[in-house]
Homo-oligomer: A and B are copies of this chain.
Amino acid sequence: MGDSLGKIFTITSFGESHGNCVGIIIDGCPAGLPITTEDIQEEVDKRRPGAGVAATARVEEDKVEILSGIFNGRTTGAPVCLLIRNKDVDSSEYKKMRFRPRPGHADYTAFIKYGGFNDFRGGGRFSGRITASFVMAGAVAKKLLSLIGIEVLAHTVAIGYIRARFKVLNEIRENVKNNLLKCADPIATEEMTRLIEQAKEAGDSVGGIIESIALNVPVGLGEPVFDTLEGDLAKALFAIPAVKGVEFGSGSRATEKKGSENNDPFTIKDGKIVTLTNNAGGILGGISNGMPIVVRVAVKPTPSIAKSQETVDMKKMRSASLVIKGRHDACIVPRAVPVVESMVAVTLCDFAIRAGLIPRVIK
């Protein structure tokens, strides 16, 4: 239980890291949306390890398969089932260390919760690999959102203590494309790269911060008091492994500001009501206010490190040390960027359909 998200545009995730596949079902997708395997593949490829420091040792082709819900190049209104087969799987290391939970991972909690029956290979359901299925759903959501002019971006704004400097939207759009760290600031990228390299050499890892921006979101998305735009975005984003914080607009910095500084004054621009600043991150009272939605997620440093760590043997109930062999990324932040983008898109899409902004049939 707990593997579905969204009220009308509902995604259901399934699959494991080292099982047959990872997949997603999208229920409630309007009929008539033109979408091809290639459209989805393109988004999934953004999540694949590129070259450079943030590359992973596991190389999967990640080929998207459409199982249902798309016919003659368009969605049919029926559940869309999308699949990626697992191929480059080596579970030998996981079997060896099965009873030695990796610090910072779900090994221990999953073992207890599921009575030891969970598929532990490669982290099973708790692997970052599951997020490939989120990206497939995001591809469909982004296509739907584009119909009403909504654009969702995401970029790396910090790796470790290195912060990217502020960039305007066009710089973000352009610079992120070919940046291996998905960062809009080329100078910070160099420093970030060094930091990752150092961590890697030390058998260690670093985290970072990803920012997502949604543009042209009309006023009115969000269903308070509980289904707020912030709340549902946060819930969706916390499904991404390693995310430990979510904030909107001025976020935690708002706590150090005065009300007079943090309030966004209203004004009229081109006949429309806008705010002069966007400390609210585009959300007031849990409802979009027409300004860009701005959300930042804190990604903890990858828990898989090469350094020896202290753990326990759950079977023998005694202390043990652990050296994780196999694959690990010194920094997963860049690969998480399209995942953050996808979860924002999926959530906005559900709200847009709930608000009646995206019709049930696309003509």
Contact = CB atoms under 8 A, between A and B. Distances in A.
Interface of A: 1-5, 7-10, 12-16, 19-21, 23, 25, 27-28, 31-32, 66-69, 71, 74-81, 83, 101, 103-106, 108-110, 112-115, 117-119, 124-126, 130, 158, 160-161, 199, 202-209, 219-220, 222-228, 230-232, 234-239, 241, 243-252, 254-268, 271, 273, 275-276, 279-281, 284-289, 298-305, 307, 309-312, 314, 317-319, 354-356, 359-363
B1 A126 contact: no
Contacts of A71: 16, 19, 117-119
A187 to B, nearest CB: 19
A354 B360 CA distance: 9
Contacts of A81: 14-15, 23
B301 A259 contact: yes
Given A3-B27, A115-B31, A230-B238, A252 B245 contact: yes
Contact of A220 (B109, B119, B285): B109
B160 A259 contact: no
B106 A226 contact: no
B259 A302 contact: yes
Contacts of A199: 258-259
A252 to B, nearest CB: 4
B312 A267 contact: yes
Contact of A300 (B110, B203, B262): B262
A232 B76 CA distance: 23
A273 B174 CA distance: 48
Contacts of A319: 267-268
Given A223-B2, A284-B105, A206 B259 contact: yes
Contact of A246 (B15, B80, B245, B355): B245
Contacts of A275: 103
Given A15-B68, A113-B220, 20 more contacts: A1-B28, A2-B224, A4-B12, A12-B27, A16-B71, A76-B114, A77-B117, A78-B119, A106-B285, A108-B219, A113-B219, A202-B258, A204-B259, A207-B259, A245-B251, A247-B252, A254-B301, A265-B309, A265-B311, A268-B312
For the complex of A and B, 7 pairs with smallest distance between CB atoms? A106-B285, A2-B223, A2-B227, A245-B247, A1-B28, A205-B259, A115-B361
Contact of A10 (B4, B15, B16, B103): B4
